[in-house]
Amino acid sequence: MRSTVLASAICVAATYLLVTHTLQIQLPITLQAQQPPPAPAAPQTSKPYQPEVGQPGKDVVWVPTPPELVEKMLDMAAVTKADFVIDLGSGDGRNVIAAARRGARSLGVEFNPDMVELSERLAREAGVAERAKFVRADMFAADISQATVMALFLLPANMLKLREKFFALAPGSRIVSNTFQIEGWEPDRRESVGGDCTAWCEAILWVVPAKVAGRWQGGGAELTLTQDFQKVSGTLARGGRTVNVTGRLAGRTLTLKAPDGELEGTATDTAIELKGPGAPLKLARQGA
């Protein structure tokens, strides 16, 4: 009898332990199932790209041209809707967008893709995205041959490296720069913004000259010229007399000073026409 009671007690105890253990397992599961699902994470919005003054780039650090100097540069270059304006190392696109506001087609060449995206956004916000375009490219490899205006803020070393490409532009094209010059090429004009400007205040302009170096003949006259960008010198022979001449080019307009007066006219790749003392001259290029 005692053994039967003991066995029953053990059985009851075992049953109690089994039930208790099962509840301990199921209770957390049940409570967990009753908890509401976590709220979805709020979508993270990235801030628009914002460049920092002085940040390094491929060839230059980024320093923006003051807005008043941008306008001064475009005024000096006499930008109109007939122009195609290119900026190399265009940064946030301010030169390009300002030119587009004047009706010009314009292109910014910029190596930093974030800057390109920023420029495109700013052009859209300004309502000029149809005229202001941007490409990600190396400025030294860019094709600038169709530009009528170059609006630039580059270091002197960059300008020197690009000098021959600038000189190869069509005569009458304008190059305008913030502060820095093209080594060896005298500017045609310099102007500063007034007011409270303390840095990056000067705009510098060059007008691409016609290419007139060489020998020219016509009507019994011969003109021989050497050329240093817009400055020329040489000799003029006519009527059995040879004189020294010096002069200057402004695009295709050629002015020569001779001992007996000043000659002025136009120059193309193949012909020069001049008026002044004596009979007008119509000269054709000789040789290559």
Q: Which of 250, 274, 270, 271 is nearest to 262 (CA)?
A: 274
| Surface-to-core class of residue 103, CB atoms within 10 Å of its CB (0-12 exposed, 13-18 middle, 19+ buried) | middle
What the block records as the tokens of 214 is 């060489």
What the block records as the tokens of 48 is 């628009």
Q: According to the model, what pLDDT value does residue 183 have? A: 98
Q: According to the model, what pLDDT value does residue 33 have? A: 42
Q: Which of 166, 133, 147 is nearest to 84 (CA)?
A: 147
CB 155 within 8 A of CB 172: no
With residue 175 as reference, give the H or E element that holds it. strand 174-178
Q: According to the model, what pLDDT value does residue 50 have? A: 87
What the block records as the tokens of 233 is 């010198």
Q: According to the model, what pLDDT value does residue 41 have? A: 59
Q: According to the model, what pLDDT value does residue 3 have? A: 42
Strand order across the beta sheet in which 202-207 lies = 132-136, 105-110, 84-88, 149-152, 174-178, 202-207, 189-192
Q: According to the model, what pLDDT value does residue 56 have? A: 85
Q: According to the model, what pLDDT value does residue 7 have? A: 42
Q: According to the model, what pLDDT value does residue 27 have? A: 36
DSSP for 3-42, please give it: HHHHHHHHHHHHHHHHHHHHHHHHHHHHHHHHSPPPPPPP
With residue 246 as reference, give the H or E element that holds it. strand 241-250
The segments of the chain whose pLDDT lies below 50 read 1-33
Which amino acid appears at position 238 of this protein? R
Q: According to the model, what pLDDT value does residue 26 have? A: 44
CB 156 within 8 A of CB 179: no
Say whether 222 sits in a helix, a strand or coil: strand
